[in-house]
Amino acid sequence: MDGLITHDDLKNYKSFFRMPIALNYKGHMVYTAGPPSGGGITLLTALVY
């Protein structure tokens, strides 16, 4: 493989499950990435305000 990511990088990668955050917005549940991601909180804040 040529590039910045090697086969060993992919082989040794460990994923993490993090609980999503949710908001009931106008009768619909909106789910988004929880912390430490900040994008989800920004999205939900924009919907509310």
Q: What share of the chain is helix, strand, coil (3-state, %, to 5)?
A: 30, 20, 50
Backbone angles phi, psi at 44, to 5 degrees: -65, -35
Please count the helices (runs of H) and the strands (runs of E) in the chain.
2, 2
Domain locations along the chain: 19-49
Residue 14 has what pLDDT? 92
Report the pLDDT value the prediction gives residue 33, as an integer from 0 to 100: 87
pLDDT (tens digit, 9 = 90+) per residue, 10-49? Answer: 999 998 899 999 989 999 999 988 888 878 888 888 888 8
32 Cβ contact partners less than 8 Å away, ≥ 6 residues apart: 20, 21, 22, 39, 40, 43, 44
Q: Are strands 28-32 and 21-25 parallel, antiparallel or unpaired?
A: antiparallel
2: confidence class by pLDDT, cuts 50, 70, 90: low
